[in-house]
Amino acid sequence: MRSSTKILLIYTGGTIGMQKDFETGALKAFNFSKLLQRVPELKLLDCAIETISFENPIDSSNISPESWVAIAEVIEQNYTAFDGFVVLHGSDTMSYSASALSFMLENLGKPVIFTGSQLPIGDLRTDAKENLITAIQIASLQENGKPVITEVGLYFEYKLYRGNRTTKISAEHFNAFTSPNYPFLIESGVHLKVNKDLLLPLDANKPFRVHKLFDAHVMILKMFPGINQKVLETLVNIPDLKGIVLETYGSGNAPTEEWFIELLQQAIISGIHIVNVTQCSGGSVNMGKYETSSELKKIGVISGKDCTTEAAITKLMHLLGQNIPTSDFKNSFENAIRGEMG
């Protein structure tokens, strides 16, 4: 690590910087400068840290595509001045935001590391300090004067994951995230163990670009036995609906009933993009493996392969924002753009 490494800490809100409201007892976001006072250890790090905060820090349940644009613009405006970026964010929707930012930031040549915590930084047993300090160290990692990580990562409880491969799995444990279909990139023990073979390669000749357009006329539809024809009919006929992430069973399976397939087919014909992801916590969609997915394949449902739901819905919003012609959309979705699918 070079002592001249410059890191920009971007505070959006989340438990890490929250404190108790004495009147209601609920946790709410508080001033970022106070957060840094709680971590004097940051001064010991071998890098220069500057900070920038959302004017009104938010619980991540209130994160929106506008918030993603705000984060991306901070990175864009400070891209050349800093060696790496750490985004402090509530854990509840962190996987959505890390996925969204991964799609927004094309040819990213510097680390963007999301982190947060399960307990506020002022709590005696907090996990915030370790997460924050190690996320900054990871963002500062350099080899031959170049950043080691050139992608959007998520650091939590001793592991750095590819951001768009993560999902939150616990509201209780410090080990709150997992990456079901892609191994962790770095493990923090006595040393930081970097799995170099797993990192996203960078083509240094291509310019860094930020894509800011999202189309949020989308929804996630989780399959369950008993799904009702009238309900589905109403949903697929929502005016202006442009995309659906369909959470299916197992390797991408769904009912074979005629009304069900017909409703999806009509939706596709009317221009709605339907992406098939599995509601299992690991594994991939493989349409055609079972009879219960053959029809989906036939009518032109897009395979989300081994994408998380978080990556699928943010990629859908991102690609819809790019105005890709309908005839190319399936192909565009089924190709990985930031290592989000296998």
> Three-state secondary structure along the chain?
CCCCCEEEEEECCCHHHEEECCCCCCEEECCHHHHHHCCHHHHHCCCEEEEEECCCCCCHHHCCHHHHHHHHHHHHHCCCCCCEEEEECCCCCHHHHHHHHHHHEECCCCCEEEECCCCCCCCCCCCHHHHHHHHHHHHHCEECCEECCCCEEEEECCEEEEHHHCEECCCCCCCCEECCCCCCCEEECCCEEECHHHCCCCCCCCCCEECCCCCCCEEEEECCCCCCHHHHHHHHCCCCCCEEEEEEECCCECCCCHHHHHHHHHHHHCCCEEEEEECCCCCCCCCCCCHHHHHHHHCCCEECCCCCHHHHHHHHHHHHHCCCCHHHHHHHHHCCCCCCCC
Q: Least distance from C-beta 169 to ligand ASP, angstroms?
A: 13
By beta carbon distance, the residue nearest ligand ASP is 90
Lookup: tokens for 256: 């074979």
Q: What are the residues facing 18 on neighbouring strands?
A: 29
* Catalytic residue ranges: 15
From the list 53, 91, 284, 309, which residue makes contact with ligand ASP (rule: CB under 6 A)?
91
Q: Least distance from C-beta 99 to ligand ASP, angstroms?
A: 15
Q: Least distance from C-beta 268 to ligand ASP, angstroms?
A: 35
Position 83 contacts ligand ASP (CB under 6 A) = no
Q: With respect to ligand ASP, which residue has the nearer C-beta, 127 or 306? A: 127
Position 116 contacts ligand ASP (CB under 6 A) = yes
Q: With respect to ligand ASP, which residue has the nearer C-beta, 27 or 235? A: 27
Position 251 contacts ligand ASP (CB under 6 A) = no
Tell me which stretch binds ligand ASP (CB under 6 A): 11-19, 36-44, 105-113, 159-167.
11-19
Tell me which stretch binds ligand ASP (CB under 6 A): 12-20, 135-143, 209-217, 236-244.
12-20
Q: Least distance from C-beta 12 to ligand ASP, angstroms?
A: 9
Position 57 contacts ligand ASP (CB under 6 A) = no
Please give the residues from 13 up to 52 whose contact with ligand ASP meets the rule CB under 6 A: 13-15
From the list 57, 65, 84, 90, which residue makes contact with ligand ASP (rule: CB under 6 A)?
90
Q: With respect to ligand ASP, which residue has the nearer C-beta, 90 or 163? A: 90
From the list 53, 59, 267, 276, which residue makes contact with ligand ASP (rule: CB under 6 A)?
59
Give the closest residue to 307 by CA, choosing from 96, 108, 124: 96
From the list 83, 92, 306, 310, which residue makes contact with ligand ASP (rule: CB under 6 A)?
92
Tell me which stretch binds ligand ASP (CB under 6 A): 10-18, 95-103, 154-162, 266-274.
10-18
Residues 122, 124, 130, 133, Cα dihedral to 10°? 40
Site string for ligand ASP, 286-315 (x = CB under 6 A): ------------------------------
Q: Least distance from C-beta 155 to ligand ASP, angstroms?
A: 14
Tell me which stretch binds ligand ASP (CB under 6 A): 35-43, 88-96, 215-223, 252-260.
88-96
Q: How far is CA 182 from CA 77, 92, 198, 335, 341, in A?
A: 31, 20, 9, 16, 9
Q: With respect to ligand ASP, which residue has the nearer C-beta, 99 or 118? A: 118
Q: Least distance from C-beta 123 to ligand ASP, angstroms?
A: 12
Residue 181 CB partners (closer than 8 Å, separation 6+): 165, 282, 283, 284, 306, 308, 342
Residues that bind ligand ASP (CB under 6 A): 13-15, 59-60, 90-92, 116, 118
